[in-house]
Structure 1
Amino acid sequence: MEDQASYAGLGASPSGNPADSSGIQIAALREALGGNAALSATLGVSANQLSRWAYGREPVPRQIAKAIIDLDRVVRQAKLLWGRKAVTEWFLGSNAYLDGSRPVDVLAAHRFSEVMDALEAAQSGASG
């Protein structure tokens, strides 16, 4: 199906089941963003839809799969910088590099590159 994601980009699961890998990915992102509400808002979907994808009841559409992959990239880089606990605070906190916006809100507006720039600025020691 053309509009469905190839789960290969969502990471490997121990079972090899694509639905398992998307569920693992969604669970990790929920944790990083502080819960289901923040992740579903960031992706622009309902919490119920997010759960259907997480439990493999429905395939993740290609556009959402790309957003999940982009978000995962930001989360992984942030975890390397600050560790798991501080990542949620960074995503939900006001960010000077983003003109006071929260990274999670900027991601919800599909401005991934701006969040990556803010993360890179934080890594190099700029305010954020």
Structure 2
Amino acid sequence: MRIRLTSIFVDDQAKALRFYTEILGFVKKHDVPVGEKDRWLTVVSPEEPGGTELLLEPAGHPAVKTYRDALVGDGIPLAQFAVADVRAEHERLSGLGVRFLQEPLEMGPVTTAVFEDTCGNLIQIASQPQ
């Protein structure tokens, strides 16, 4: 069994695509119209173009707002992305205007940081020495 696709709810797919590609550095994999305004829109890591896809899913379902508000209110990230160096990535993203809620924090062998993705979610980045 492998994870092929996971999703994250976004308020605006075009805005999310810009953030996840232009700021975070992912690349668009699929962009297929679904209905009048929604799209099957996925991004992948440029390091693993055949790897796990992240679906930028419209947040239109009524339960999404309650779910995301609860997570954000409690400071819980919806997703975590691995990076080689959290401190370097924090500096790069901060320079691009990304708002961090948790500065780099060492927790044993793992370093993490948490930021807002501008689309209604908290995202955690993490690195662990190899």
Does the TM-score normalized on the shorter chain lie above 0.5? no
Larger relative strand fraction: 2
Larger relative helix fraction: 1
The normalised TM-score by structure 1 is 0.28
